[in-house]
Amino acid sequence: MSQAWWRQALAICAKDMRIEFRERTSVTSVLLFAVTSLVVVGFALAGLALTSDVAVPLLWIVLFFAAFSGLAHVFVEEEEGGTASALLMAASAEGVYVGKLLYNLALLGVVGLVAVPLFLLITGLPVPRAGQFVGVVVFGSVALASAATIVGAIVAKARARGALFGALGFPVVLPLLMMAVVATRRAVGADADDWSWMRDVGGLVGYAAMMVAASVLVFPAIWETN
């Protein structure tokens, strides 16, 4: 416990990334999930003239299910590998939480880098204000990852994890999804650009910040259960 929490966090994140680099289980499974669901969406909508109002929610549905299919993995692998107790002794709860959060942000970032361009390719959605679109997607994903990380930490300690993760996650992220959909619609919409998108991005950043703050407060209680 001698190290500062942020050093511990970076070490834990690096450890998880090294494991991931050797095994490539969670990146490939989450990525494959996102790509598969995008292909299903594209297949189902083939030949239809898609308006941005319809296309935008599809993107967030795919990102939501991608996040809530794989982001509990970082905690589940510690439980199943029996390494949770060792980590509990080696690092502070804050360090573990922040490290896992950083890893999940990176994981969802990789998924987004593949899934979002693919989504634009499949739907042929024009993005008139690309900067605004990227900003909304990036901060929306950050907020999504912050919610998925804490719910994943809870779910990893329970039975019937797979079904529970989505069920517990959905009500927590529903307001975020609604904000993200409205904000993304504005980014691809035709109406003249004003500064209202600042409010949208502010809402997403605020959600992420509050979720991280609440998580830091409750994480020790979750992590210290055996």
Partner 1 sequence: MRLLRWTHRATTGILLALATWGAMVYVRPAEGFLYPDGARIIILHVPCAWIACLAYLVAAWYAVRILRSVGRGSRQQWRRADDGCNAAMELGLVFSALTTITGSIFSRLQWGAFWSWDPRQTSILVIMLLFAAYLVLRSALTEPQTRARLSSAYALVAVVPGLFLIWVLPRIVNTLHGGANQAVIGGGLDPQYRLVLYAFALPGFLGLFAWLMQLRMRIAALEDRTINQR
Q: If binding means CB under 8 A, how many residues of this protein chain bind partner 1?
A: 37
Tell me whether residue 133 or residue 197 sits nearer to partner 1 (CB atom). Answer: 197
Instruction: By CB under 8 A, tell whether 191 contacts partner 1.
Output: no
Instruction: By CB under 8 A, tell whether 175 contacts partner 1.
Output: yes
Applying CB under 8 A, among 110, 118, 164, 205 the residue interacting with partner 1 is: 164
**Cβ atoms 76, 160 nearer than 8 A:** no
Alpha helices by DSSP H, listed for 24-51, are 26-44
Output the CA torsion 193→134→35→211 (10° steps): -110
**Cβ atoms 112, 31 nearer than 8 A:** no
Applying CB under 8 A, among 171, 188, 192, 195 the residue interacting with partner 1 is: 171
Crossing angle of helices 161-188 and 52-70, in 10° steps, is 150
Applying CB under 8 A, among 1, 44, 48, 160 the residue interacting with partner 1 is: 160
Q: Which stretch binds partner 1 (CB under 8 A): 20-28, 83-91, 97-105, 154-162?
A: 154-162
Nearest to 151 by CA among 214, 63, 209, 89: 214
Instruction: By CB under 8 A, tell whether 9 contacts partner 1.
Output: no
DSSP 71: T
Q: Which stretch binds partner 1 (CB under 8 A): 17-25, 33-41, 94-102, 153-161?
A: 153-161
**Cβ atoms 64, 144 nearer than 8 A:** yes
Per CB under 8 A, residues contacting partner 1 are: 150-151, 154, 157-160, 164, 167-168, 170-176, 178-179, 182, 199-200, 203, 206-207, 210-211, 214-215, 217-219, 221-222, 224-226
